[in-house]
């Protein structure tokens, strides 16, 4: 059974950093593009970042480019999202997601697997 489990969320002041982790199980990790999405209160779920199974071609939303870094550790079957220079508008529930193959879709409807989410709150 495929499972995704996020961790690392919390409360941080503006300008601070957090690192989110997404532990995967099953066979998803080796052959799937992995992504992070977020949903702020009252808003739709939006794409944040994604990386292909090979670790190449990281892709970022414009709102986080230059501040966030996505990476994956094959030995640990884990995907990370390093978030620096956090802003209050980054406050959201962050979700890990996976889709088979090497494409990098940005629509949540293209992803098959989802974690339960982890809350990130950035205070001003």
Q: Give the CA angle between residues 59, 65, 67 to the nearest 5°.
A: 125
Give tens-digit pLDDT for 52-103. 988 777 999 999 999 999 999 888 889 999 999 999 999 999 999 999 888 8
DSSP H or E segment with residue 114:
strand 113-114
**Positive/negative CA dihedral, 59, 63, 66, 72:** negative
pLDDT value at residue 26:
63
Two tokens at 12?
A: 């941080």
């Amino acid at each position: 059974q495929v499972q995704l489990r996020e961790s690392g969320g919390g409360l941080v002041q503006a300008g601070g950093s957090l690192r989110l982790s997404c532990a995967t199980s099953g066979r998803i990790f080796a052959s799937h593009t992995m992504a992070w999405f977020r949903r702020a209160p009252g808003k739709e779920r939006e794409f944040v970042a994604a990386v292909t199974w090979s670790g190449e071609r990281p892709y970022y939303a414009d709102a986080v480019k230059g501040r966030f870094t996505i990476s994956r550790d094959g030995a640990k079957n884990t995907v990370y999202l390093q978030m620096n220079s956090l802003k209050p508008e980054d406050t959201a529930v962050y979700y890990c997601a996976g889709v088979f193959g090497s494409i990098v879709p940005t629509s949540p409807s293209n992803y098959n697997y989802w974690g339960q989410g982890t809350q990130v709150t950035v205070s001003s």
